[in-house]
Amino acid sequence: MTHLPSKATEPVKHDVLIENDVEATMRDGVVLRSTVYRPNISGSFPVLLTRTPYGRDLSVNSGYLNPTTVAAGGFVVIMQDVRGRFGSDGEFVPSENEGPDGYDTVQWAAELPYSTGAVGMWGRSYFAETQWRAAQEKPPALRGIAPGISAGGNARSGGLVRGGAVEFGARLGWGHLSAGPAEIAKLSRTDPARAEREWASWARIDRAMSEDAYFDALPLRDLAADAPAFFASPIVESLGFPIDHPSRDLWDSAGDRAVDLPTLHIGGWYDIFVNSTLDQYFGQLAHSDSGAAPAPYLILGPWSHTNFSGLGGSVVFGSPANQAVLDSGQDLSSVHAQWYAAVLGDEEPDLPRVRIFVMGENRWRTYDRFPEPTRTADLFLAPGGTLAAEAEQMEGRVDYDYDPADPVPTVGGATMMPGTFAPGALEQSRVESRDDVLVFTGEVLTEPLTVIGRVSATLFASSSAVDTDFVVRLCRVTTDGTSITLTDGIVRARYRDSYRTPGAYTSAEQSLLEPGEVYEYAIDLWSTAVTFQPGERIRVQVTSSNHPRWDRNLNTGESAYESAEFVVAHQRVHTGARYPSRVSLPVVR
């Protein structure tokens, strides 16, 4: 008997049977293991599958999609350890086997005796990449994917590199947390003595990451001497970390290619992969407009990579921002269940196509598709630390020095880092009080201004160095004068031509600077959604570092991976009609 999942408004129907270590054999004979949650009655049900390298029974998974309540509503929920992780056999090499293993697992799940043969995939971060890579293989039983905070986007747009700078803190943190527990736990069964040494090494680096000084090593390759087990891990090696420069051949991303399937995209404004989430949504939207796939669905909250609560940072966004409530009283589990109940039943989901949390209003807006801006508001930098609606006729300049020995610290933003470096909407006084951070503030607003979408900056700047970085950050200054980070971006000067169009990488050769010459830099600040309220002001920061989020530029043209030598760079930001340095904001009604 085939059972249909219950609607979101209907009560839970079934008791749930949980089966552990359910085996699936891949095409090369490797066995992968899953935990299966299914209604404890006879019959068949549609399958919701996720594949994870972090442990299929990790409690955080249930906060995003609760397998017990979803299974009670009429689904089979399968949570599988990917190849080489925790309960599954084989060797884990990030991304390498997720396509074929995903295909085989989807088809295996479709053939289970309690399956209807219809399979959907779900999950966030690396789980999202497993969905994209499986979908590229086109398993016949796969009917939809729901990638969250998706890591399947372009590696040069926040995955490994941003504007030519290496995502140092994120890569080091992810490699550490991923390379340690599961790998060493497996080693404990075969070589206990070696495992004990590896645990000691892992614990040493774990303690060190709680201290800011750990990230200050130069050259970065010296970190390998402090933690050889970490840097010898196949996980870290597969990342090519530390990356010396972004012109190297980085891994291809399945998330850049649209699929002929229904898709539900879930992301956060303070997630390191928000750019990928939106790029994937827009890719699917274009695919839909061509008639090749159904129109995609999108949910974007004020969330970071690991926090969907709407709490944390310097701003409380209220209970509607919590994943357990949202605006309709639903949590993300019930949203998944409602969406898949329709999709796997070949029906149209009764949900908003696009649901966006607008900060400042602290409420959700719904749209049929991501809103187009009604206009672009250019705010021009001016000497004296002001922002103006028009560039001043007279040329101006503002100077500061960037010392790699004393970089500007990472304070909030769309980050994914270990230790004390929290992501999110953090107040910026610690940053803005520094001499090496330029601050430009607009007039007090007299009416609301809503900005939704991609923010960019155009900077005209010169430097005494042959290479350097420029960082631009957009902030909201509340009525009490608190400056809150919204979004930011970076460009590494020698790769300026590789990122001429925000978000795009053109494989251009690196080109060192002529000291003192003025260059134009296009800086992608990614996206945000905020309403600046009457009495508030818009603020822009300009500086040359954000450490340890991005690796420091030594101002010498040499990589921080290879060299410990640096010089202080004397930076000059140029303004006026000839050099219209500015930020560009997408304004909607």
Tens digit of pLDDT at every position of the chain (589 positions)? 677 676 544 556 899 999 999 999 999 999 999 999 999 999 999 999 999 988 888 776 677 899 999 999 999 999 999 999 889 999 888 888 999 999 999 999 999 999 999 999 999 988 999 999 999 999 999 999 999 998 765 667 777 788 989 888 887 777 666 666 666 776 777 778 877 877 777 777 777 676 666 678 888 877 766 655 555 555 555 555 555 444 444 444 555 689 999 999 999 999 999 999 999 999 999 999 999 999 999 999 999 988 888 877 888 888 888 876 676 678 899 999 999 999 998 898 999 999 999 999 999 999 999 999 999 999 999 999 999 999 988 899 999 999 999 999 999 999 988 767 889 999 999 999 999 999 999 999 999 999 999 999 999 999 999 999 999 999 999 999 999 999 999 999 999 998 888 767 777 778 999 999 999 999 999 999 999 999 999 999 999 999 999 999 999 999 888 899 999 999 999 999 999 999 999 999 8
Tell me phi and psi for residue 404, to 5 degrees.
-60, -20
Q: For residue 11, how many other CB atoms are within 10 A of its CB? A: 7
- Interacting residues of 88 by C-beta distance below 8 A, sequence separation 6+: 30, 31, 32, 33, 80, 81, 82
114: nearest Cα among 38, 170, 214? 38
Tell me phi and psi for residue 295, to 5 degrees.
-65, 135
Torsion angle of the four alpha carbons 237, 241, 247, 252, in this order, in degrees rounded to the nearest 10 = 50
For the segment 236-247, what is each residue's pLDDT rounded down to a tens digit?
555 555 554 444
| Alpha-carbon gap, residue 526 to 414, rounded angstroms | 10
| Alpha-carbon gap, residue 153 to 126, rounded angstroms | 11
The pair of three-digit structure tokens given for residue 319, joined into one six-digit string:
């209970």
How is the beta sheet containing 45-52 ordered, strand by strand? 16-25, 31-39, 76-81, 45-52, 115-124, 142-148, 264-270, 297-304, 354-358, 363-367
- Interacting residues of 570 by C-beta distance below 8 A, sequence separation 6+: 399, 401, 463, 464, 465
| Alpha-carbon gap, residue 209 to 186, rounded angstroms | 24
Please give the helix or strand (H or E) that residue 68 lies within, else none: helix 67-72
Q: For residue 40, how many other CB atoms are within 10 A of its CB? A: 11
Q: For residue 513, how many other CB atoms are within 10 A of its CB? A: 21
Q: How many CA atoms lie within 13 A of 108 on its CB side?
A: 21
Alpha-carbon distances, residue 78 vs 50, 108, 424, 537 (angstroms): 6, 11, 32, 48
The pair of three-digit structure tokens given for residue 561, joined into one six-digit string:
């991976």
**What is the set of active-site residues?**
125, 271, 305
In contact, 485 and 359? CB cutoff 8 Å: no
Q: For residue 15, how many other CB atoms are within 10 A of its CB? A: 10
pLDDT (0 to 100) of residue 506: 78
Q: Which residue do the tokens 């940053």 mark?
A: 431
For residue 131, the Cα-to-chain-centroid distance in whole angstroms is: 16
The pair of three-digit structure tokens given for residue 363, joined into one six-digit string:
């409420």
For the segment 466-492, what is each residue's pLDDT rounded down to a tens digit?
999 999 999 999 999 999 999 999 999
- Interacting residues of 547 by C-beta distance below 8 A, sequence separation 6+: 215, 407, 408, 409, 410
Across 372-468, the runs of DSSP E, i.e. the strands, are 375-382, 386-388, 396-402, 438-441, 449-463
In contact, 143 and 150? CB cutoff 8 Å: no
pLDDT (0 to 100) of residue 248: 46
| Type of residue found at 294 | P
Q: Which residue do the tokens 């109940």 mark?
A: 341
pLDDT (0 to 100) of residue 571: 98
